[in-house]
Amino acid sequence: MEVGKVSNEVTACRKEIKSLAQFKLVWAQKLLVTKQTEKEKTMARPQIDKNKRKSCNFCADKVEVIDYKDAQKIRRYLTEAGKILPRRITGTCAKHQRMLAKAVKKAREAALINYVYD
């Protein structure tokens, strides 16, 4: 806040409120509201998104082994450039992410999927 703007608000509050105790209470509430709005402007995401967990699709389907010959299923875990998507994006667990990486590499070697897409 600017100094001139604050002094104008203070005088306006003093005119409206007679006692000093009421003035302090109202002024503290105004400062709290301005601080909250400033925080909301600087926040990138709401707190709700942090608690949301992605579940592993392979664990949900109770998959023991990821078949490298199933090219359609493997393509879901690749970017348009042909890179393997990380766990934090796909939500796969560490065990299945390792198996997925091996399956992708085998499928590339067997020419079932491309190394690089255009």
pLDDT at 7: 67
pLDDT at 50 over 80: no
pLDDT tens digits, one per residue of 57-95:
999 999 999 999 999 999 999 999 999 999 999 999 999
Spatial separation of the C-alpha atoms in residues 39 and 84, rounded to whole Å:
36
Q: Please calculate the CA angle 7-12-15 and round it to the nearest 5 degrees.
A: 125
Tokens at 100, concatenated = 């997925």
pLDDT at 29 over 80: no
Give the residue extent of every domain in the chain. 3-48, 53-109
Of 8 and 84, the structure prediction assigns the larger pLDDT to 84
Specify the fold of 53-109.
30s Ribosomal Protein S18 (4.10.640)
